Structure 1
Amino acid sequence: MELDRLDRDIIAALVDDARQTYAEIGHRVGLSASAVKRRVDRLRELGAITGFSARVAPQALGWTTEAYVELFCQGKTKPSDIALAVARFPEVVGAATITGEADALLHIRATDVRHVERVIERIAAETFVVRTKSAIVLSRLVDATHNPSVPEVRNESPSIG
């Protein structure tokens, strides 16, 4: 899917504040409210915009502790099996397969360290998990989820010379 500069500017405005009116976004990007609405509708149809949601501070919900947990799985455990198993844990707020020795990396949010420990124990009890390796987050240095940018795509060929 190809997005032009206006599409990217509209997406950036929505990421910044999805509660803005089409008129406010239009003022920011130089379009009429109706033109912005047409573009947003098209971006939704294309799947570039998948939905709108509220960003809530995890601390407001009592989730004051976070950890990253590497999963080491036996044999040829399928990523879909890992996803199915960890999706049952509301504390797992992110999961990805990764390169390196571990098979997957989980992002866990919990109320305290003991809560993280209980979650890791339950995940480690899954039949395919051989071992886990965890790290507790002490402080968050960069959090792009609160100020994400929409990267510029460049269709440039590297010059050889």
Structure 2
Amino acid sequence: MEAKLDALDRKILAELTQNARIPIAELARKVGLSKTPVSLRIRQMEEMGLITGYRAMLSPMKLGLTNVTYVEVSMSDTREAALQQFNTAVRAIPEVEECYMIAGGCDYLLKVRSRDMTHFRQILAERLSVLPHVSNTSSHVSMEAVVEQNFAPG
């Protein structure tokens, strides 16, 4: 069920997306409401499941994870049990930043962060290629991030 958001809700979400630690008083000032209605709206959006949590955004570059590789994964078995086995196993690999089941020429697309190509090759050989029901992989190395952003409702 899609959440119904008014312009003030969207402003609140846009501000929280930029800075989840913004004080309520400052947020209220920015969106043109008092603190109580802003707090109430935030709590309602949390209860609706629209806001699912708050987290620290880490810099992969400062952590030495400068290499981004997208990996197409094709499966040897696409029955539900096989997909669930793969899903469970891929979630346990910390270098996999994102994983999507897709429609197209392969079954999954993974975003993998690593220190360098040697590190990526190790991840591919020791962790990705041995995931359940993987028949083959194809890797695409990113040269530059042109857009990287958190979703903010427009």
Pick closer, same or farther for the CA change 1:22–1:127 going to 2, 3 Å: closer
User: 2:140 corresponds to which residue?
Assistant: 135
Give me the CA root mean square deviation. Answer: 1.3
- Percent of counterpart pairs with the same letter? 33
Using the TM superposition, give the Cα deviation of residue 18 of structure 1 relative to its aligned residue in structure 2, in angstroms: 0.9
Number of residue pairs aligned between Structure 1 and Structure 2? 149
> In the TM superposition, what whole-angstrom CA distance separates every residue of 1:123-144 from its partner, at most 9, and x where no partner exists?
1122401000001111111112
Which of 2, 5, 8 in structure 1 is aligned with 2:7? 5
Which of 14, 32, 37 in structure 1 is aligned with 2:34? 32
User: 1:150 corresponds to which residue?
Assistant: 153
Which of 104, 108, 111 in structure 1 is aligned with 2:108? 104
User: Structure 2: how far apart are the matches of 1:32 and 1:88?
Assistant: 43
**Is residue 23 of structure 1 aligned with residue 25 of structure 2?**
yes
Unaligned runs of 5+ in 1: 152-161
Alignment TM-score, normalising by the size of structure 1 = 0.87
User: 1:124 corresponds to which residue?
Assistant: 129
Q: Where has structure 1 moved over 3 Å in runs of 4 or more? A: none
Unaligned runs of 5+ in 2: none
> In the TM superposition, what whole-angstrom CA distance separates every residue of 1:33-84 from its partner, at most 9, and x where no partner exists?
1111111111111110011111111012121111000000012243332211
Paired residues for 1:34-113 under 5 Å: 34-78=36-80, 79-113=83-117
User: Structure 2: how far apart are the matches of 1:91 and 1:75?
Assistant: 24
User: Structure 2: how far apart are the matches of 1:75 and 1:125?
Assistant: 14
Tell me if structure 2 keeps the 8 A contact 1:77–1:128: no
Using the TM superposition, give the Cα deviation of residue 104 of structure 1 relative to its aligned residue in structure 2, in angstroms: 0.2
- More deviation in 95-104 or 123-132? 123-132
Tell me if structure 1 keeps the 8 A contact 2:24–2:38: yes
Secondary structure (helix, strand or coil) at the match of 2:138 reads strand
